Amino acid sequence: MSFWQFLFVRSSLFYLLYTTLTGSAFYLWPALVGYFKTTHVHAGLVGFFLSMVMGVAYWMMPRPGQIRQERLEGLTYVLLNAGLLLRLVLEPLMLYTTNPGLRPALAVSGLLQAGAVAVFAYAMSQRVFTKERLFQMAEERKRRQQASS
């Protein structure tokens, strides 16, 4: 497991804890629901679920030729978490202060997360092949090894 894969999984657990704590806080302080409901759901779906999926996919998906994509993993992680953390802070603040001037920063948070998804999709497209293509790649690798011997 690479450093970035490790961070994806660990961060997803942080977001799971955040989601659990905010959900519990709603019962103690119902007035918080209006400010934190959306970020509570977003932290659960994007922070926990998507981070876990991305981290495990980078770790476990087949890597033909043992390719490493640490730069793409790192870029995905940084974009996703920068966007998510920005949203988790700014959205409740905007709702509490009713300051519409925070909307552009929230749009940036969404663009950062969308960028992370795009990088992830590109990285996975480089790893996922049909069974036939994997066999073909293995044969090509075998021929190259035999030719170099």
Domain count, the chain: 1
SS3 state at 112: helix
Per-residue pLDDT at 118? 98
Cα-Cα-Cα-Cα dihedral sign, residues 86, 91, 97, 102 = positive
Residue 95 CB contacts under 8 Å (≥ 6 apart), including other chains: 34, 35
DSSP string, 72-90: HHHHHHHHHHHHHHHHHHH
Q: pLDDT tier at 77 (50, 70, 90 boundaries)?
A: very high
Cα separation of 69 and 49, whole Å? 21
Give the pLDDT mean for 112-116.
98
User: What is the mean pLDDT of the segment spanning 118-127?
Assistant: 92
Domain span including residue 23: 3-148
